[in-house]
Amino acid sequence: MSDFSFLNTHRTWEDWCGMLLGALIVASPWFPIQDQSGIAGQQTIVVNAVVVGLVIFGLSQLEYVALQRWQEAATILIGLWLIVSPYVLGYSGEGFLRIYHTSLGGVAVVLGVLQLWQDWDLNDQDMLKHGQ
């Protein structure tokens, strides 16, 4: 039987994964597999991806430095926004970009839920010790 005790503690590699995820979201409108002509004129899509990616990157950096529960809740909310943004902003027919944003948003939600679950029972003093 395997031991999943490594999932019970918020580790710094999770914060690094969040930073990588933010960078991937920022770069997602320019991923090479998709049709660039479909999104070239729609700057709202690009701005949305860049802002969401920078927010996730910044939240992950904050978690790395000073862990707070609101950061994890914000990561979940911004991940949910990334999942629904293709439908709200009208690019659900763009194929791969919709798949990228839905998938990357799902990863952000899962990462945020995992981190929130890990830190649920910690008091403020224990959360301040994160990363030390």
pLDDT digits (tens, 9 = 90+) for 33-86: 655 555 555 788 889 999 999 999 999 888 877 777 788 889 999 999 999 999
As a whole number of angstroms, the distance between CA 95 and CA 31 comes to 12
Inform me whether the pLDDT recorded for 95 exceeds 80: no
Any domain includes 2? no
Question: How many structural domains comprise the chain?
Answer: 1
Lowest mean pLDDT among 4-13, 21-30, 67-76: 4-13
Q: Quick one: pLDDT band at residue 32, thresholds 50, 70, 90?
A: low
Residue 1 is predicted with a pLDDT of: 42
Q: Does residue 36 lie within any of the structural domains?
A: no
Helix axes 69-88, 43-65, angle to 10 degrees: 170
Position with higher pLDDT, 95 vs 20 = 20
The answer to whether residue 5 is domain-embedded is no
Would you say 19 and 61 are in contact if contact means Cβ atoms under 8 Å apart?
yes
In a domain, 116, yes or no: yes
Asked whether residue 6 is assigned to any structural domain, the reply reads no
Residue 35 lies in a domain: no
Task: Please name which of 28, 112, 124 lies closest in space to residue 78, comparing C-alpha atoms.
Answer: 112
Of the CA atoms within 13 Å of residue 59, those in its CB half-sphere come to 28
Mean confidence (pLDDT) of the chain: 80
Residue 20 belongs to a domain: yes
Mean pLDDT over 76-101 rounds to 89
Report the distance separating Cα 55 and Cα 93, nearest Å. Answer: 25
Range of the domain at 52: 11-29+44-128
Whether the per-residue pLDDT at 31 is higher than 50: the answer is yes
Residue 79 lies in a domain: yes
Supply the pLDDT for residue 132.
47
